[in-house]
Structure 1
């Protein structure tokens, strides 16, 4: 067993499997996630969010897998009887993008499901997440990187029912600079440089029925999480942003899950410091931070 505070992980994602009364923790787990060769994703399993079994291999690339670096931010969703992993990958000369993998078991092993990335070809994209709309239609929500556009963007695009392909053109939900709190973190920002980050979008239904979207950027020099609400109740928005971040203590890339005792829990990594990242689980009520679990 390993304790939560001893797990080094970025971009934590928790899948709660009711039938097992077990939590599965996925995330960016490679030793050198920025420059090193990608080796895959690990998974941990727990009954109490404190003590964890693992790690075990959730995904390891085959010899013919197209990407070899930046294996980032896996998240797993149960959809129509199958577990689907959405994760970001890159290869030198090929833009980063989100690909979908699948497995019959929550712990894997996961195998490529889509033919390459499901995000638009030629775009630098990351952190794709799956959202099921009001009519049961699947959506892919993802970030378009500041490395390509300067002012990071978040998009939504409809997927086919089997998640194999995009349907229609991506819809721009917002740019980072359009929000009240995200800051330009370019080193030369006083002379015209632009670097507005958009990381880790995650959609969730609030307890009052509203549709919310959390995402990460920077605020006062620290990694932070912002929240927005769709004024129409639909994925396409318009999205109305909170004036200040939801969380701003140098932690981010959040998602929300429901614990088996009924509490809603925000999972993040903190601090946002290389080789020091740890998962944190924060109980929330009515969209507000309450306390660490």
Structure 2
């Protein structure tokens, strides 16, 4: 299964796992940028994917449809995916040596995991339009208020950041200004892998996903690069809420692996899915353990992906 940025939703009603990833027309049979979904009863045998969302024609989202996520919220399903348009350049800041252009996460809604999903606002993304962002994820805080957590691109920031912005109750609009959570260089292992001669200098933030442990600790899975190799890592909020402050824990998986997310099987087992390698990526599954303080890998599930050499 060729895929980047996998996101799995277990549907308890049908006891079916939905795996969402970017649409590949040759596999789904549907032309266009968007999202497709594989379905499985056992996480091993998967149906051919079907497209559940196609980005409508608009000048903003001519490229991308990366990192789709689907979240159930107030009786409906909301899809978040990142689009961009490299033909429209932002005015360059004097200290940013890279070309920047519109990129951000859009939201679409459906009554069913099978779609079709319809875009809420066809004019642009949820984060500020002047920001170059990606990989937006939904987080519901302790007051039951929705937030969009996203990565602010290293291309625009040099030192990429994780940020959050509050959403309206129907998830169609943002409220107030974004808040800063942490920056990529806060991770000591990442900072130590870069030198002034590193070109391009990549303090990358990718793929946030929030998880509350059984003891109430708030974690964030996210990805970056160590010595130019993709890494799946972990952060933890010291306060237990989204505002942090956030501390960086040791990476979970190296070896060109990343953009992971956690889900629970129908048997109650905590699992993580990510992709490896970064180019020509495939999905990889791990059995996980919630220690209450963090999450740890139990074992790589090579019985589900047929990989003979576990890597973590």
TM-score (norm: length of structure 1)? 0.90
Q: Which residue of 2 aligns with 1:86?
A: 80
Q: Which of 255, 258, 273 lines up with 1:249 in the alignment?
A: 255
Deviates more, 1:207-216 or 1:61-70: 61-70
Q: Which of 148, 151, 161 lines up with 2:156 in the alignment?
A: 148
Q: Which residue of 2 aligns with 1:3?
A: none
3-state SS in 2 of match to 1:147: helix
Deviation at residue 53 of structure 1 after TM alignment: 1.1
Unaligned runs of 5+ in 2: 89-100, 302-312
Deviation at residue 184 of structure 1 after TM alignment: 7.9
Q: Which residue of 2 aligns with 1:98?
A: 105
Q: Which residue of 1 aligns with 2:18?
A: 24
Deviation at residue 140 of structure 1 after TM alignment: 0.5
Partners of 2:61 and 2:18 in 1: CA distance? 25
- Alignment check: 8 A CA contact 1:229 1:241 kept: yes
Rate the CA distance shift 1:184–1:157 in 2: closer, same or farther, 3 A. Answer: farther
Q: 2:288 aligned with 1:284, yes or no?
A: yes
Question: Between Structure 1 and Structure 2, which shows a larger proportion of strand residues?
Answer: 1
Deviation at residue 58 of structure 1 after TM alignment: 1.2
1:110-189 matches, cutoff 5 A? 110-115=117-122, 116-183=124-191, 189=196
Partners of 2:60 and 2:32 in 1: CA distance? 11
- Alignment check: 8 A CA contact 1:39 1:61 kept: yes
Q: Which of 198, 217, 233 lines up with 2:224 in the alignment?
A: 217
Unaligned runs of 5+ in 1: 1-6
Q: Which residue of 1 aligns with 2:7?
A: 13
Q: Which residue of 1 aligns with 2:215?
A: 208
Rate the CA distance shift 1:164–1:178 in 2: closer, same or farther, 3 A. Answer: same
- Alignment check: 8 A CA contact 1:86 1:129 kept: yes
Q: 2:42 aligned with 1:42, yes or no?
A: no
Residues 157-196 of structure 1: per-residue CA shift (max 9 Å, x gap): 111111111111111101101221224888x842796321
Residues 263-287 of structure 1: per-residue CA shift (max 9 Å, x gap): 10111001112xx211111010121
- Alignment check: 8 A CA contact 1:125 1:144 kept: yes
3-state SS in 2 of match to 1:168: strand
TM-score (norm: length of structure 2)? 0.84
- Alignment check: 8 A CA contact 2:232 2:258 kept: yes
Across the two proteins, how many residue pairs are aligned to each other? 279
Q: Which residue of 2 aligns with 1:197?
A: 204
Q: Which of 243, 248, 262 lines up with 2:268 in the alignment?
A: 262
